[in-house]
Amino acid sequence: MSVGSARLREDGDRIRQGAIDKGEDPAFVDQALALDQRRRELLSEGDRLKAERNTASKQIGEAIRAGAAPGGPEVAALRQASTDAGARITAIDAELAAVEAGLDDLLLRIPNPADSDVPVGGEEANVTVRVWGDQLGRVEPFEGELGADARPGAATWERRPHWELAERLRMFDLERGAKITGTGFPVYRGAGAALQRALIDWFLEVHTREHGMIEIWPPAVVNQASARGTGQIPDKEDQMYIVGRDDLYLVPTAEVPVTNLHRDEILEAAELPVRYAAYSPCFRREAGAAGRDTRGIMRVHQFDKVEMVFFERPEDSERALEQLTGFAETLLQRLGLAYRVLLMATREMGFVQARKYDLEVWAPGVERWLEVSSCSNFRDYQARRMAIRYRPGPGARPELVHALNGSGLALPRTVAAILETFQQPDGSVIVPEVLRSRMGTDRIVPGAAAG
């Protein structure tokens, strides 16, 4: 289950409207309500018949003790009533199992309604919450041949997109990646591989040492129950790579294995909040609209990402989302990348989110905003699917936690923005200061990654 049949009965109108607002089929809501009504009718009838059967059995004994013949008409009638009730109970149990299976499937297909203050609509309804940084790009003064042109906004040279820079710097190899696997599976090499490794290491260090998260190194494949728990199944099953022989799925994001760490568990109140940071490779069959953003590494089928996953008390989740988003922003600010934060509208936020912020970094080479993080509050939606609960106090009835997650950060577009933001007139790229000790250099120059 996800929405939950009780919640569906109590708040059916809002859940139906929530589906409409997200562009999903509201018919699933009405179908689920009808099956839930039938389920309750069957349960009621079954309980009544079981009581009648028990009464008939009791009356058989009483009649025999009162002198009725065991094979006489009175006892025979009571036995027939008990047999008829049993046959109907068997039929009810079979129908009930089918109804409950159908109801569970429908509940999985009903989206999480957006928060009431989320704008309704598509991309045009997204709201810019804040903007940070210099969209002109950082052309830092550097000792050597750069001269007077090395000033922010004063460049007299043409900025290049990241794929042209990376080709000259030999940072990744798209053609060989396509040869090895297929389009959308880049090979990083030399400074490109070093930059990937440096970013992943730095992201995890900041999240664990400064933000207090526990580092997780999760499996790269998950089972069907895990994919269902976070909402990838059935909503995004077509976007996942399936290991058919073993009925496993390549992870589209570390959110899936990490959130499932506590599936079917009851946490103690003192354990909350639980906050994780995890690196994983990510695999997605659908890498964007056909023919759009296909150059470079803006849309690929395999990429690297560090994910943040929070489990919170319900009353703390709104504040936690702002904090989680701030953690992602901290990374972009320290890298020196201009970015904006968008509150996503209902049709842009996804099936399972109640509220979502997108962080988009400015890439001056292609003059576009590129998404590098989505930070979401799912409320109790995912927790209900996975039965993740906490006990508010000793002896208290368990309640659902609130689950949140966010990218901190996704690498391909972050790398693209670094290359385009810090490119120099001579074709080199300044390494952001926070990465220089890990990279072993303060800039990437043509020929440095030869081979």
Per-residue pLDDT tens digits for 237-279:
889 999 988 999 999 999 999 999 999 999 999 999 999 999 9
Matching fold, domains 5-108 and 123-444? no
Confidence class of residue 149 from pLDDT cuts 50, 70 and 90? very low
Q: Residue 297 above 90 pLDDT?
A: no
Question: Can you give the residue ranges of every domain in the chain?
Answer: 5-108, 123-444
Where is average pLDDT lowest: 141-145, 213-217, 374-378, 399-403?
A: 141-145
Q: Which amino acid is at 382?
A: Q
Confidence class of residue 71 from pLDDT cuts 50, 70 and 90? low
Q: What is the mean pLDDT of residues 15-42?
A: 94
Q: Residue 124 above 70 pLDDT?
A: yes
pLDDT of residue 68: 64
Per-residue pLDDT tens digits for 378-401:
999 999 999 999 999 888 999 999
pLDDT of residue 296: 84
Higher pLDDT pick, 413 / 72: 413
Confidence class of residue 415 from pLDDT cuts 50, 70 and 90? very high
Q: Residue 290 above 80 pLDDT?
A: no
CATH topology of domain 5-108: Helix Hairpins (1.10.287)
pLDDT of residue 2: 61
Instruction: Fill in the DSSP letter of residue 287.
Output: -
Q: What is the mean pLDDT of residues 290-318?
A: 87
Tokens representing 428 are: 């080199």
DSSP states of 311-328: EE-GGGHHHHHHHHHHHH
Q: What is the mean pLDDT of residues 8-36?
A: 93
Confidence class of residue 451 from pLDDT cuts 50, 70 and 90? very low
Where is average pLDDT lowest: 108-122, 208-222, 283-297?
A: 283-297
The pTM score is: 0.88
pLDDT of residue 294: 65
Q: Residues 6 or more apart from 417 whose CB is under 8 A from it?
A: 162, 337, 361, 362, 363, 370, 372
Q: What percent of the chain has pLDDT over 90?
A: 73
Give strand ranges (E) for 313-435: 339-343, 355-363, 368-377, 389-391, 399-400, 402-410, 429-430
Q: Residue 284 above 80 pLDDT?
A: yes
Q: CA-CA distance, 321 to 36, in Å (whole number)?
A: 33
Q: What is the mean pLDDT of residues 304-314?
A: 97
Tokens representing 395 are: 């002896």
The distance of Cα 438 from the centroid of its chain, to the nearest Å, equals 30
Per-residue pLDDT tens digits for 160-214:
999 999 999 999 999 999 999 999 999 999 999 999 999 999 999 999 999 999 9
Per-residue pLDDT tens digits for 37-47:
999 999 999 98
Q: Residue 150 above 60 pLDDT?
A: no
Long-range (24+ apart) CB contacts under 8 A made by 27-35 are 28/106, 28/109, 28/110, 29/110, 31/106, 32/3, 32/5, 32/8, 32/103, 32/106, 32/107, 32/110, 33/8, 33/9, 35/99, 35/102, 35/103, 35/106
Whole-number mean pLDDT of the chain?
89
pLDDT of residue 135: 74
- Domain covering 123-444 assigned CATH 3.40.50.970 in the classification: no
Q: What percent of the chain has pLDDT over 70?
A: 90
Q: CA-CA distance, 347 to 107, in Å (whole number)?
A: 19
In order of 184, 235, 282, the CA distances from 301 in angstroms are: 5, 18, 8
Where is average pLDDT lowest: 8-22, 62-76, 101-115, 316-330?
A: 62-76
